């Protein structure tokens, strides 16, 4: 039976700089590219956000953070015009500060109870 150890077998013959470069290269493969939104998508997201703020409805917000897309479900607590960030409170009471330019998608979270 052949017991192949994969990359572990070869790293002992590599320089530490090469091992670091391989790890960096592998982590870059997991990174996602930020998508550009057109004007129609931005207008639809704006309407959804304004309606959710008015009626205190929970939203599912997908946003770009540290080269990955993240999802948060909660209600909009506050919108800071100066910094351009929304303060979203999730079901656990945790506050997420999301920049408006980082938002990729906004949808009404159906079937979610009000976290308050």
Q: For 7-43, how does the pLDDT look when each residue is reduced to its tens digit (9 = 90+)? A: 566 666 777 888 888 888 877 777 677 778 889 998 9
**Per-residue model confidence (pLDDT) at position 97:** 94
User: Into which CATH architecture does domain 39-108 fall?
Assistant: Roll (2.30)
CA distance 30 to 116: 36
User: What confidence tens digit (pLDDT) does each residue in 55-112 have?
Assistant: 999 999 999 988 889 999 999 998 888 998 999 999 999 999 999 889 999 999 876 5
CA distance 45 to 37: 10
Query: Could you tell me the two tokens for 71?
Result: 């999802």
Render 10-46 in DSSP notation, one character per residue.
Answer: HHTTS-HHHHHHHHHHHHHHH--PPPPP-HHHHHHHH
Could you tell me whether strands 95-99 and 103-108 are parallel, antiparallel, or unpaired per DSSP bridges? unpaired
Quick check: 116 pLDDT over 50?
no
Q: Residues with Cβ < 8 Å from 110, sequence gap 6 or more?
A: none
**Per-residue model confidence (pLDDT) at position 115:** 47
Quick check: 48 pLDDT over 80?
yes
CA distance 85 to 102: 9
Other beta carbons less than 10 A from residue 80's beta carbon = 11
């Amino acid at each position: 039976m052949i017991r192949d150890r994969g990359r572990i077998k070869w790293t002992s013959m590599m320089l530490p700089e090469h091992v670091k470069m391989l790890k960096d290269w592998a982590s870059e493969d997991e990174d996602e590219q930020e998508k550009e939104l057109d004007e129609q998508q931005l207008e639809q997201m704006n309407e959804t956000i304004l309606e959710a703020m008015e009626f205190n409805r929970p939203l599912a917000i997908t946003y770009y953070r540290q080269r990955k897309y993240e999802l948060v479900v909660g209600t909009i607590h506050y919108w800071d015009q100066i910094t351009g960030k929304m303060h979203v409170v999730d079901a656990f009471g945790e506050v997420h500060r999301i920049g408006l330019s980082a938002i990729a998608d906004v949808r009404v979270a159906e079937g979610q109870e009000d976290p308050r």
